[in-house]
């Protein structure tokens, strides 16, 4: 089941149907969405270790948004960012509901992993579409960073599946 | 050239020649070494963005050391940790010398990437050697976390190779 915080977007192959300007706009929108998702999640999660990790991800996405805006600024000087209504891959939205138990957290982390994975592949595709070595390098940077997030989330996900051990090993609880 | 902060260890295949107790000891030693390496590096690096990232890695390795000591404690209760003198893969040591320019930083980050990659593979091998599902899960956790570090470092590495762009995009400098 797809949770309400996630909207399944277009498949990655659809990337070719958009201009670079639109794709950068989508990327900026996705970073903002991911940040708001992680930020809202830190407020719902009570496990200190996980709260800190998710807070770190929120800060990272903020930096990526700023970096993408600078890239956009150099590629389309003086233009406002165009935000297409479509998006490639899952789009994360803020968590408004109360979370009940660890299973809710596990489900959300699984979707965040999916979003990070698609984001990593999205930037790798953009690398092929931009024209200069420096722009390609920036896309590789963003792709690698998203892979970093993906593996960080995957690690937590794996351990959360065995809650008893997680709480024991992470010194969670009273 | 191998920098003085790095000692090339045994190839990964040699893992089979050690007991699980020795391998966990090596892992703990490697986490301590990685932490001291990153900690010393934060004191040498003047690029704020990178300083923070490396500081985050140092904190992560500290948590891994603690987690491994808890795992060791559950597997070999009451025993002191055995630290073999050998180590699998590159071992990071504190950076004592002054760094001159960005190339020195790039070289060190490349080696740190190598060490993180081997660490990720090392834990994946340990996953096959431990006997219960919960221990396997912990090894997957550690392996995934090291892959996370690897991609984080790879991202910075890629961008540092074009220093002019790095400083422009990361707002480095006065």
Which of A49, A120, A148 to mutate: most B Cβ within 10 Å? A148
ipTM: 0.89
Using the Cβ of A52 and the Cβ atoms of chain B, whether some distance falls under 8 Å is answered with no
Contact call for residues B105 and B99 (beta carbons, < 8 A)? yes
Farthest-apart Cα atoms in chain A, separation: 55
pLDDT of residue A174: 40
Please compute the mean of the pLDDT values over residues B115-139 and round it to a whole number: 92
Please compute the mean of the pLDDT values over residues B80-85 and round it to a whole number: 94
Which of B61, B121, B155, B163 to mutate: most A Cβ within 10 Å? B155
The pLDDT tens digits of the residues spanning A90-140 come to 888 899 888 988 899 999 999 999 999 999 999 999 999 898 898 899 999
Contact call for residues A56 and A110 (beta carbons, < 8 A)? no
Specify the range with the lowest mean pLDDT, choosing from A51-65, A85-99, B35-49, B113-127: A85-99
Cβ-based neighbours of B57, under 8 Å, separated by 6 or more: B34, B38, B149, B152, B153
pLDDT of residue B6: 76
Using the Cβ of B52 and the Cβ atoms of chain A, whether some distance falls under 8 Å is answered with no
Confidence at A167, pLDDT banded by 50, 70, 90? confident
Q: DSSP readout, A17-86? A: GS-HHHHHHHHHHHHHHHHHHHHHHHHH---HHHHHHHHHHHHHHHHHHHHHHHHHHHHSTTPPPP--S-
CB within 8 Å: A155 and B137: no
Please report the domains of chain B, with CATH numbers, ordered by start residue.
Answer: 6-172 (1.20.1260.10)
pLDDT of residue B89: 84
Above 90 in pLDDT, residue B157? yes
Using the Cβ of B149 and the Cβ atoms of chain A, whether some distance falls under 8 Å is answered with yes
**Average pLDDT in chain B:** 90
CB within 8 Å: A169 and B145: no
Confidence at A1, pLDDT banded by 50, 70, 90? low
CB within 8 Å: A151 and B144: yes
pLDDT of residue B174: 40
Where do the DSSP E strands lie in A30-167?
91-92
CA distance B146 to chain A (A): 8
Contact call for residues B162 and A131 (beta carbons, < 8 A)? no
The pLDDT tens digits of the residues spanning B42-76 come to 999 988 889 999 999 999 999 999 999 999 999 99
pLDDT of residue B37: 95
Confidence at B36, pLDDT banded by 50, 70, 90? very high
Using the Cβ of A137 and the Cβ atoms of chain B, whether some distance falls under 8 Å is answered with yes
- Give the chain B residue whose CA is nearest to the CA of A68: B169
Above 90 in pLDDT, residue B173? no
Above 60 in pLDDT, residue A173? no
pTM of the model: 0.91
pLDDT of residue B172: 60
Which whole-number Å values give the CA distances from B57 to B6, B37, B62, in the listed order? 17, 10, 9
- Give CA–CA dist A149/B117, Å, rounded: 16
C-alpha dihedral sign at A98, A100, A102, A108: negative
CA distance A149 to chain B (A): 7
Please tell me which of the candidates B71, B140, B151 has its beta carbon nearest to residue A144: B151
């Amino acid at each position: 089941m797809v949770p309400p915080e996630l909207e399944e977007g277009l498949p990655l192959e659809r990337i070719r149907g958009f201009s670079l300007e639109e794709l950068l706009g989508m990327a900026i929108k996705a970073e903002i969405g991911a940040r708001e998702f992680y930020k809202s999640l830190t407020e719902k999660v009570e496990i200190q270790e996980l709260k800190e990790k998710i807070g770190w991800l929120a800060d990272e996405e903020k930096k990526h948004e700023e970096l993408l805006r600078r890239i956009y600024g150099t590629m389309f000087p003086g233009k406002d960012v165009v935000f297409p209504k479509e998006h490639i891959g899952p789009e994360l939205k803020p968590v408004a509901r109360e979370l009940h138990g660890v299973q809710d957290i596990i489900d959300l982390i699984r979707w965040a992993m999916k979003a990070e994975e698609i984001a990593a592949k999205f930037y790798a595709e953009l690398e092929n579409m931009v024209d200069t070595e420096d722009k390609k390098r920036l896309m590789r940077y963003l792709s690698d960073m998203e892979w970093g997030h993906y593996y960080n989330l995957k690690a937590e996900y794996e351990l959360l599946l065995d809650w008893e051990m997680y709480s024991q090993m992470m010194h969670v609880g009273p």
